[in-house]
A and B are shown apart, each in its own frame.
Chain A
Amino acid sequence: MEKSRQQWSNPLQFLLACISCAVSLGNVWRFPYLCQMYGGGSFLVPYVIMLLLEGMPLMYLELAVGQHMRQGSIGAWRTISPYLGGVGIASMVVTFFVSMYYNVINAWGFWYLFHSFQDPLPWSVCPLNANHTGYEEECEKASSTQYFWYRKTLNISPSIQENGAMQWEPALCLILAWLMVYLCILRGTESTGKVFYFTASLPSCVLLIYLVWGLMLHGAINGLLYLFTPKIEQLVNPKAWINAATQVFFSLGLGFGSLIAFASYNDPANNCQKHAIIVSLINGSTSIFASIVTFAIYGFKATFNYENCLSRVILLLTNSFDLEDGSLTASNLEQVKNYLASTYPSKYSQVFPHMKNCSLESELDTAVQGTGLAFIVYTEAIKNMDMSQLWSVLFFFMLLMLGIGSMLGNATAIITPLTDSQVISRHLPKEVISGLVCFINCAVGLVFTMEAGSYWFDIFNDYSATLSVLLIALVETIAVCYVYGLRRFESDLQAATGFALNWYWKAMWACVTPLLIVGLFLFYLSDYILTGTLQYQAWDATQGQLVSKDYPPHALAIIGLLVASSTMCIPLGALGTLVMHRFKRGDQSQGSLTFTQLLPRSG
C-alpha cells in the first residue's frame, strides 16, 4: 500500500496554484508588446483561437496525467511507458535552467522595491558629475531611468566577453529571493498552498487599482485608443499567428512539469477538466487586463513626453528670437513657426536643425517588452505620477508576487520528482532536498549578478526553454494518445473522475495539437538556421543606447549546450531504459523464461 501522498487542503488551493503558475510576468510584459506589434485589438483573434486549439487541450492533458499517475513528471511518464522517463528528466532539466535565471528577476524586483521607499525616487533624477556643475554624462545621453537600470542596478559591461566583478547589491537581493522561495516550499503543499492565496489574488488587486488610477491619468486615453484600433491587415501576417501560439504555450507553463507536479497532489476524483478551462480563461483575461493597464500608462507617458518636447521647442524659439515669454503656446506654435521662417529666414535655418519634430504617434510606437518594459518604461511613467513612491511600491510588489508565484511552480516541478524518487527521499528529508536545490540554484544564479550577467540572462531567457519545451509537449501528446493509448487513457479518466471525455479533447489531442506544435517547431528551427549568426543588444555607455553585437563562440557553444542538454534527455532516457531492459533480460534468460513472457509490458 502506498504511503499517503500529501494533498492540497482544498481544491481551491490547487486552482490558485495553477493560476499563480500560469499568470506570470509574461502576461504583464510580453502580451502588451505582442498586442502592439501585431495589430492591437485584432491580435486577440489569433490568441483566442490558439488558446482553444492548443492551450486548453495541453493543459487538460498535463493536469489529467499528473492527477491520474499521482507522481511528479519523471514518475508519471515512466508509468506511461518505461522508455519515456527521459521526457520527465527533460522537463526537469528545462525547469532547472529556468529557475536558475528566473529568480534574478525577483532579485531586481526586490532591489527596485527597496529603493521605492526613497524620496525622490532614485531613478527620477540624474546624479551630479564630479564637480557638481552638471549631470553625469551617461545619464544625460540616456534618460535617468535607463541610467538607473543599466548603471546602478546592473552596472552592465560593454559586451558579454567582459565579465567584470560580482555586484554585491543584486547578489544580496538574489539570496533574499531564494530564501523567500525556500521559506514557501519548505513544508511542501501544506505551506505552499497558503502562499498561493496571496500570489494569485494580490497581483489582480494591484492591477485593478492601477487600472482605476491609470484611466484617470492625463493622456491615458491616447494609449487606449492606440491599443483598440484594430489593424485588420495584421491578421494575414503569419508572424502574428505564430507569436500567438508561442505566447499561449509559454504563458500557460506547459511542458515544464509544474502542472503535472501540482496535479499529482490532487484527489484522483477531482474534475480537472473544469480547472483546465478556468485556468486558461483566467490567464487570457489577465493578459488582456494587463494590456489595458499597460497601454493606459503608455498613453500617459507618451503624452507627457510629447508635451515636454513641445515645451522644449517653444523655449528654444522664444530664446532664439527673444519673443515675449509666454506668448508662444502649443496651439499657435505652427503659425508662429511659419511667420518666423518667412520673416527671419537665415536665423530660422540656423535654429531649425536643433528643433525636434514632436510626434505623439512616434512616442506611442516605441514598443518595448521584457525587463525593459518593467524597469525602464514603467518606472519612467511612475516617476511622473503624483505620490510616485506609493505607485512604485505597489507596482514592484505586484511584480514580485507574480515572479514568486512562478518560481514556486518551478521549484515544485523540480522537487516533486526528487522527493518521489525512493533513492533520494530515503536518505534525505524533504527540507534538506528543497534546501539543496535552492542553494545550488542560488550559487549558479550569482553568475547573473556579474557585470555581464544581464547578457547571460538574455541567453537563458531566449534559448533555454523555447525549443525544448515544444519538443517535450509534442512527445507528451504523442505518448498519451498513441503509446499509452487514447482509449485506455479515456477509460482511466472516466473510472477515476466519473466524467466522460468530450470528443473535442480527443480530436485536439490526437491530431490538431501535435500538428500545431510540429509547425511551430519547424518554424523556429528554420528561423534559427536562416538568421545565421545570433546577435544580442549591448549597452554602450558612451552613446547612451543599445547596440547590436554578435555572440562570441563560447556564448554560442553555451546556447547549443542549453538546447541540447534538455532535448537529448528524451532519446537518451529511452536508450538507457532499453539497455537496462536488455541487461535484465540477459540475466533472467536462463530460468523463468515463461515468467518474463507472462509479465505484462506496461506501455
Chain B
Amino acid sequence: MLWLLFFLVNAIQAELCQPDAENAFKVRLSIRTALGDKAYVWDTNEEYLFKAMVAFSMRKVPKREKTEISHVLLCNVTQRVSFWFVVTDPSKNHTLPAVEVQSAIRMNRNRINNAFFLDDHTLEFLKIPSTLAPPTDPPVPIWIIVFGVVFCIVIVATTLLVLSGIRQRRRKNKGPSEVDDTEDKCENTITIENGIPCDPLDTKGGHINDVFLTEDERLTPL
C-alpha cells in the first residue's frame, strides 16, 4: 500500500513539474562563467539550498507563510545547469499561481543571488524579468559643474585682458599729447640701416661742429 502511495505521489509530482507546465519556471545557472576556477559542483545539496531559498521567498508572501521546502519541486536538471521548478500548495495537488511566485522571487532576488555567489545574469529565471538598477543620477549633473568652472575662468580672463587693453590705450593717448611736437619729428625721420637706427643729427642731441660753419665763409671770396 505504502509503495502504491509513494508511486502515486511521485506520479502527481512528475505531472506538476514538467518543462512548460502551468506555473513552472525555468532556471539557468552559469556557475563557471561567474566563478571560474572557484566554481562549485551543482549537486543535490545545492538543489536543496535552492528549494530552501524559493520556500523562504514564498513564506514572505501573505497567506503563503506555511510553505515548506517539500512544496518546491525540481525537475529536468541538465548539465548546463538548468532545471524547471514549481511551487505547490500544502495539499500538493495544485501549483501556486505563477504571478505569486514571480513577485516573490523578484522581491528576494538579491538574497537568492547572494546565496549562490551569482548575479542576475548568471542566475537567470526565464520569464521573470529582473528589475534593472536605475543609474545613479547626481542632483546636479557633473558636466554643468565643470562647464561652470571653465566658463567663469574664461570670462574673468577675458574681462581682465579687455580692461588692461583699455587702460593701456588710455595711457598711450595721454602720453604722446605732451611730447607730441618733438616726438613727431623724431618718429617721422627715423631711418633704419642694417637694423641700426640712424639718428638724424639735428634733433637727437648731436653736436654741431662749429668749425665748419661760420657765417663769414658761406660765400667763397674771390
CB of A315, distance to nearest CB on chain B (Å) = 8
Interface size class of A (residues with CB under 8 A): 20 to 34
A322 touches B82 (CB 8 A): yes
A114 touches B147 (CB 8 A): yes
For chain A, residues 135 to 180, give those with C-beta under 8 angstroms from any C-beta of chain B.
Answer: 135, 172-173, 176, 179-180
Number of interface residues of B (CB under 8 A): 34
- Mask, B11-31, CB within 8 Å of A = 1, is 000000000000000001111
- Mask, A315-328, CB within 8 Å of B = 1, is 00011001111100
B80 touches A319 (CB 8 A): yes
Q: CB-CB < 8 A to A429: which residues of B?
A: 165, 169
Q: Report the separation of the CA atoms of residues A115 and B145 in the bound assembly, to the nearest whole angstrom.
A: 10
CB of B59, distance to nearest CB on chain A (Å) = 26
Q: CB-CB < 8 A to A117: which residues of B?
A: 142-143, 146
Stretch in A181-189, A206-214, A255-263, A484-492 touching the partner: A181-189
Q: Report the separation of the CA atoms of residues A185 and B74 in the bound assembly, to the nearest whole angstrom.
A: 76
For residue A118, CB closer than 8 A to chain B, the reply is yes
Out of B28, B31, B131, which one reaches A319, CB within 8 Å?
Answer: B28
CB of B81, distance to nearest CB on chain A (Å) = 7
CB of A326, distance to nearest CB on chain B (Å) = 3
Residues A128 and B165 in contact in the complex (CB < 8 Å), given A117-B146, A326-B32: no
For residue B157, CB closer than 8 A to chain A, the reply is yes
Q: CB-CB < 8 A to B161: which residues of A?
A: 183, 186-187, 191
For residue B177, CB closer than 8 A to chain A, the reply is no
Question: Which of chain B's residues has its CB closest to A1's CB?
Answer: B188
Q: CB-CB < 8 A to B29: which residues of A?
A: 325
Residues A176 and B158 in contact in the complex (CB < 8 Å), given A319-B28, A325-B80: no
Q: Report the separation of the CA atoms of residues A431 and B28 in the bound assembly, to the nearest whole angstrom.
A: 70
A132 touches B157 (CB 8 A): no
Q: Report the separation of the CA atoms of residues A110 and B144 in the bound assembly, to the nearest whole angstrom.
A: 11
| Residue among A115, A133, A173, A183 with most chain B CB within 10 A | A183
Residues A176 and B132 in contact in the complex (CB < 8 Å), given A319-B28, A324-B79: no
Q: Report the separation of the CA atoms of residues A173 and B158 in the bound assembly, to the nearest whole angstrom.
A: 17
Out of A128, A319, A326, which one reaches B135, CB within 8 Å?
Answer: A128
Q: CB-CB < 8 A to B78: which residues of A?
A: 322
CB of A176, distance to nearest CB on chain B (Å) = 6
Q: CB-CB < 8 A to B28: which residues of A?
A: 319
- Mask, A507-518, CB within 8 Å of B = 1, is 000000000000
Q: Report the separation of the CA atoms of residues A173 and B143 in the bound assembly, to the nearest whole angstrom.
A: 11
For residue B211, CB closer than 8 A to chain A, the reply is no
For residue A498, CB closer than 8 A to chain B, the reply is no
Residues A132 and B143 in contact in the complex (CB < 8 Å), given A179-B155, A179-B158, A187-B165: no
Q: CB-CB < 8 A to A133: which residues of B?
A: 129, 131-132
B158 touches A183 (CB 8 A): yes
- Mask, A100-138, CB within 8 Å of B = 1, is 000000000011011101100000010110001111000
A176 touches B135 (CB 8 A): no
Residues A322 and B80 in contact in the complex (CB < 8 Å), given A134-B132, A179-B158, A186-B158: yes
CB of A323, distance to nearest CB on chain B (Å) = 7
A176 touches B131 (CB 8 A): no
- Mask, B143-174, CB within 8 Å of A = 1, is 11011001100110110011001000100000
B33 touches A118 (CB 8 A): no
Q: CB-CB < 8 A to B197: which residues of A?
A: none
Q: CB-CB < 8 A to A176: which residues of B?
A: 147, 150-151, 154
For residue B134, CB closer than 8 A to chain A, the reply is yes
For chain A, residues 317 to 348, give those with C-beta under 8 angstroms from any C-beta of chain B.
Answer: 318-319, 322-326
Q: CB-CB < 8 A to A318: which residues of B?
A: 80
A325 touches B32 (CB 8 A): yes
Q: CB-CB < 8 A to A134: which residues of B?
A: 129, 132
B155 touches A431 (CB 8 A): no
Residues A128 and B81 in contact in the complex (CB < 8 Å), given A114-B143, A325-B33: no
For chain B, residues 20 to 63, give those with C-beta under 8 angstroms from any C-beta of chain A.
Answer: 28-33, 39
Q: CB-CB < 8 A to A127: which residues of B?
A: 135
CB of B134, distance to nearest CB on chain A (Å) = 6
Q: Report the separation of the CA atoms of residues A429 and B166 in the bound assembly, to the nearest whole angstrom.
A: 10
Residues A186 and B30 in contact in the complex (CB < 8 Å), given A114-B146, A133-B129, A319-B80: no
Q: Report the separation of the CA atoms of residues A135 and B135 in the bound assembly, to the nearest whole angstrom.
A: 11
Q: CB-CB < 8 A to A186: which residues of B?
A: 158, 161-162, 165
Q: CB-CB < 8 A to B131: which residues of A?
A: 132-133
Q: Report the separation of the CA atoms of residues A245 and B144 in the bound assembly, to the nearest whole angstrom.
A: 43
For chain B, residues 197 to 217, give those with C-beta under 8 angstroms from any C-beta of chain A.
Answer: none
Q: CB-CB < 8 A to B158: which residues of A?
A: 179, 182-183, 186
- Mask, B178-222, CB within 8 Å of A = 1, is 000000000110000000000000000000000000000000000
CB of B154, distance to nearest CB on chain A (Å) = 5
B162 touches A326 (CB 8 A): no
A323 touches B79 (CB 8 A): yes
Q: CB-CB < 8 A to B162: which residues of A?
A: 186, 431
A128 touches B32 (CB 8 A): no
Q: Report the separation of the CA atoms of residues A115 and B142 in the bound assembly, to the nearest whole angstrom.
A: 7
CB of B106, distance to nearest CB on chain A (Å) = 11
B33 touches A326 (CB 8 A): yes
Question: Which of chain A's residues has its CB closest to B130's CB?
Answer: A133
B31 touches A179 (CB 8 A): no
Q: CB-CB < 8 A to B144: which residues of A?
A: 114
A118 touches B142 (CB 8 A): yes
Q: Report the separation of the CA atoms of residues A180 and B165 in the bound assembly, to the nearest whole angstrom.
A: 17
Q: Report the separation of the CA atoms of residues A294 and B32 in the bound assembly, to the nearest whole angstrom.
A: 36
A324 touches B134 (CB 8 A): no
Q: Report the separation of the CA atoms of residues A272 and B31 in the bound assembly, to the nearest whole angstrom.
A: 69
CB of B82, distance to nearest CB on chain A (Å) = 6
Question: Which of chain A's residues has its CB closest to B34's CB?
Answer: A325
Question: Which of chain B's residues has its CB closest to A179's CB?
Answer: B154
Question: Which of chain A's residues has its CB closest to B158's CB?
Answer: A183
CB of A35, distance to nearest CB on chain B (Å) = 34
Q: CB-CB < 8 A to A187: which residues of B?
A: 161, 165
Q: CB-CB < 8 A to B39: which residues of A?
A: 326
Q: Report the separation of the CA atoms of residues A429 and B187 in the bound assembly, to the nearest whole angstrom.
A: 22
Q: Report the separation of the CA atoms of residues A173 and B154 in the bound assembly, to the nearest whole angstrom.
A: 12
Q: Report the separation of the CA atoms of residues A323 and B72 in the bound assembly, to the nearest whole angstrom.
A: 25
| Interchain Cβ contacts under 8 Å between A and B, 6 examples | A114-B147, A127-B135, A187-B165, A318-B80, A325-B30, A325-B31
Question: Which A residues are within 8 Å of any B CB, using their own CB?
Answer: 1, 110-111, 113-115, 117-118, 125, 127-128, 132-135, 172-173, 176, 179-180, 182-183, 186-187, 191, 318-319, 322-326, 429, 431
Question: Which B residues are within 8 Å of any A CB, using their own CB?
Answer: 28-33, 39, 78-82, 129, 131-132, 134-135, 142-144, 146-147, 150-151, 154-155, 157-158, 161-162, 165, 169, 187-188
With contacts A125-B135, A134-B129, A322-B78 known, what are 14 further pairs, Cβ within 8 A? A1-B188, A114-B143, A114-B144, A118-B142, A176-B147, A180-B154, A186-B162, A191-B161, A323-B80, A325-B32, A325-B81, A326-B33, A429-B165, A431-B162
Among all A-B residue pairs, the 6 with the closest Cβ atoms:
A326-B32, A114-B143, A322-B78, A322-B80, A324-B79, A114-B146
